[in-house]
Amino acid sequence: MHNFATKENNNNNSPIERLKEISSWVSSVLDLDQLLELIIEKATFMMRAKASSLLLLDKKTRKLYFKVATGEKKDEVRKYEINLGQGIAGYVAEKGEPLLIQDVTKDPRWYKKISESTGFETKSIACVPMKMNGDIIGVVEIIDKEDGSPIQPQDMRLLTVFADLASQAISSAQKIDKVRKENQDLREELSQKYQIIGESRALKKVISDAFKVANSKTSTMILGESGTGKELLARLIHKAGPRKEDPLVIINCAALPDTLLEAELFGYEKGAFTGATTRKIGKFEIADGGTIFLDEIGEMSPGMQAKLLRVLQEGVFYRVGGNTPISVDVRVISATNRDIAKEVEEGRFREDLYYRLNVVQIHMPSLRERKEDIPLLANHFLQLFRQEKGLPHLTISRAAMEKMVRYDWPGNIRELRNAMERAVVMGNGKEILPEDLPIFSPRKAQQGITVGMTLKEAVDAFKKDFIVQNLKHTGGNRTEAAKIMGIQRTYLSRMISKYDLRDI
Ligand SMILES: Nc1ncnc2c1ncn2[C@@H]1O[C@H](COP(=O)(O)OP(=O)(O)OP(=O)(O)O)[C@@H](O)[C@H]1O
Ligand SMILES: [Mg+2]
């Protein structure tokens, strides 16, 4: 993939010059995997080694795995993992001291298995640790010189320089990630994306409960209709507690089939199944120290419920295809819009899991139960969208506001937000009018339609119902109703006589 041969042949630079060149990559190559590969390839080349590799330490499993390998058996060795303390690499990773062994067959620390099964004859190995802030993060090793000469002490010095470069590369990649994340957090805070708006007593109670649970690790279940702000509340609980600097990991349990959900939650080892070409860290592990938010928990299958229960009971889990128990410190918040107690009663949701998740329960009130928040929310979204769409002077007319307060909002705050967005975009740009708001209950409009009717009869039934609803909505104001439905006032009058709706 990377061919340096021509470059190498053309210049007579000293090793120091060459190293300077490599150092400059560390700041210029943004892709970490590619950078580590470049570093190891260069090390192999400069030391004329037969093979070399970079192994990283997985802190959870305390195993080293091959991140980069060169040499004729490079693809085969990547399958192996080495326990901390096992073999020469494991020894160096454990002790943190470099090691040069001229004849491995005479050294009791040598772990023969890999060479034997790949058929790669090994005589000497030089191995140095990689460190970051005093912690050992992995090792770099070279195996034998191409010409059969012994590995020299100066090779060890060079290898140490390469190991340091690789550590620096990893450290700067992590720093870049951190800066990215901080920027994102800052942007989110600035955009007030996760602000919870509302002054109603019902909402205030919910928020004060959230602050109370935030300070402990108590498992919390958030119940409430769709669009009431369950996810927003989960974010608040996380952000208001001592874990706020650690990750909040959100996973929607309804979005994935079981096998994928399991892999997402617990991760998998390389080769665990077809397509698992690299190891993947699961959400539980990513959330270590922080919070995991299991959204739509009510949709979880019985099989996954059993697996989740085991993790919560035992505090440990295994990556798919792995056999090392991994323990994490994670706070669990879950949410569902189902009537979960009923799900338990009817046997669709495990009772034991329910008790684990539902130590504290918070119920998000629907928007119907706190209509006094509607104007606040409407203005909040108005501000948001008029800024976004460049209409700074747009306001909400009194009639439109009244219409919103009267409406039942089956989709709750999400529906209100969408309605405001549409109104901002579709309106006249000065004032939001009732007809700009796409709100009426579509479910009711289909009442009275049944199998057995002709299409014409069904269409008539629908039309009649639809017109009735709109007339009711506007308090009998035909001009307004016609506007909302996007039809001529005269056509509406004809329909009113046809369906005999004069009394509305
Ligand atoms: N009190 C609030 N103040 C401001 N915005 C809110 C509030 N409650 C909800 N929202 C907004 O409404 C939308 C829906 O909220 P959220 O996704 O948290 O609801 P949910 O209960 O998780 O819904 P679902 O059950 O459909 O997943 C989001 O855009 C959210 O930002
Ligand atoms: Mg949600």
Which tens digit of pLDDT belongs to each residue from 277-304? 888 999 999 999 999 999 999 999 999 9
Beta strands in 133-269 (DSSP E): 135-145, 220-223, 248-252, 267-268
Helix axes 398-406, 412-426, angle to 10 degrees: 160
Regarding whether 208 and 158 lie in a shared domain, the answer is: no
Interatomic CA distance for residues 28 and 176, integer angstroms:
12
The pick from 231, 409, 415 for probing ligand 1's pocket by mutation, whose C-beta has the most ligand atoms within 8 angstroms, reads 231
Residues 6+ apart with CB under 8 A from 72: 51, 120
Report CA Rg, the chain.
Answer: 32
Tell me: do 171 and 302 sit in the same domain. Answer: no
Best residue among 369, 379, 413, 416 to mutate for probing ligand 1, ranked by most atoms within 8 Å of CB: 413
Q: How far is the CA of 415 from the centre of ligand 1 (A)?
A: 9
75: domain CATH number is 3.30.450.40
> Among 398, 418, 439, where does a domain finish?
439
- pLDDT for res 4: 40
For the four alpha carbons of 230, 232, 237 and 243, in that order, the dihedral sign comes to positive
Ligand 1 atom nearest the C-alpha of 193 is: 31
Question: Which of 309, 338, 365 is where one domain is finished?
Answer: 365
On whether residue 340 sits in a domain, the answer given is: yes
Query: What is the number of structural domains in the chain?
Result: 4
Q: Do 379 and 485 have their domain in common?
A: no
Q: How far is the CA of 196 from the centre of ligand 1 (A)?
A: 9
CATH number at residue 342: 3.40.50.300
Identify the CA nearest to 222 among candidates 320, 149, 294.
294
195 Cα to the center of ligand 1, angstroms: 10
Which residues in the chain land under pLDDT 70?
1-16, 22, 24-30, 189-192, 440-448
Q: Name the amino acid, one letter, at 153.
A: P
Residue from 197, 382, 414, 421 to probe ligand 1 pocket by mutation (most atoms less than 8 Å from CB):
414
Q: How far is Cα 373 from Cα 60, in angstroms, rounded to an integer?
A: 47
**CATH number of the domain to which 448 belongs:** 1.10.10
Q: Is residue 29 part of a domain?
A: yes
With respect to residue 182, please indicate whether it lies within any of the assigned structural domains: no
CA pair distance 131, 57, nearest whole angstrom = 11
Question: What backbone phi and psi angles, to 5 degrees, belong to 199?
Answer: -120, 0
137/250 Cα distance (integer angstroms) = 28
Check whether residue 215 and residue 336 sit in a common domain.
Answer: yes
CA-nearest residue, atom 18 of ligand 1: 229
Per-residue pLDDT reduced to its tens digit, 67-122: 999 988 888 888 889 999 999 999 999 999 999 999 998 998 888 888 888 878 88
**Alpha carbon of 231 to ligand 2 centroid (Å):** 5
Region of residue 429 (left: phi > 0; alpha: psi -120 to 50; beta: else): left
The ligand 1 atom nearest the CA atom of 413 = 12
Which bound ligand lies closest to the C-alpha atom of 232? Answer: 1
Same domain, 426 and 478: no
Q: Name the pairing type of β-strands 63-69 and 395-396.
A: unpaired
Which long-range CB contacts under 8 A does 442-450 form with residues at least 24 apart?
Answer: 443/410, 444/469, 445/469
Q: Which residues line the pocket of ligand 1, CB cutoff 6 A?
A: 195-198, 224, 226-232, 337, 377, 413-414, 417
Q: How much distance in Å is there from the Cα of 226 to the middle of ligand 2?
A: 7
- Residue 188 in domain: no
- Burial classification of residue 125, based on how many CB atoms lie within 10 Å of its CB (0-12 exposed, 13-18 middle, 19 or more buried): buried
In a domain, 468, yes or no: yes
Are 92 and 213 members of one domain? no
Ligand 1: distance of its center to the CA of 336 in Å? Answer: 13
pLDDT value, residue 442: 47
Q: pTM of the full predicted structure? A: 0.69
Tokens of 66: 């091959």
Where is the domain boundary, 307, 339, 365? Answer: 365
pLDDT score, position 182: 80
Q: What is the pLDDT at residue 445? A: 43
Same domain, 342 and 215: yes
C-alpha 236 – ligand 2 centre gap (Å): 14
Contact of 504 with 477, CB cutoff 8 Å: no
Domain encompassing residue 452: 443-498
Assess contact for 374 and 416: CB atoms under 8 A: yes
* In a shared domain, residues 290 and 390: no
Position in ligand 1 atom list of the atom nearest CA 231: 18
Taking CA atoms, 445 is separated from 228, 459, 479, in Å, by 24, 11, 20
State the pLDDT at residue 469. Answer: 85
Judged by its nearest atom, the ligand closest to the C-alpha of residue 337 is 1
Does residue 31 share a domain with residue 145? yes
Minimum-distance ligand 1 atom for the alpha carbon of 228:
21
Distant-in-sequence, close-in-space partners of 268: CB < 8 Å, separation ≥ 6: 276, 279, 280, 282, 319, 320, 321, 322
Whether 359 and 410 map to the same domain: the answer is no
* Pocket test residue of 232, 369, 372, 374 for ligand 1, highest count of atoms within 8 A of CB: 232
355 and 420 fall within a common domain: no
Q: Do the domain assignments include residue 153?
A: yes
Locus of tokens 């080349």: 45
* pLDDT for res 189: 67
pLDDT at 115: 80
Residue 491 belongs to some domain of the structure: yes
For residue 503, being part of any structural domain is answered with no
53/42 Cα distance (integer angstroms): 11
CA of 76 to the centre of ligand 1 (A): 49
Q: Point out the ligand 1 atom lying closest to the alpha carbon of residue 227.
A: 23
Tell how far the Cα of 468 is from the centroid of ligand 2, in angstroms.
34
> Could you tell me how many helices (H) and strands (E) the chain has, helices first?
21, 17
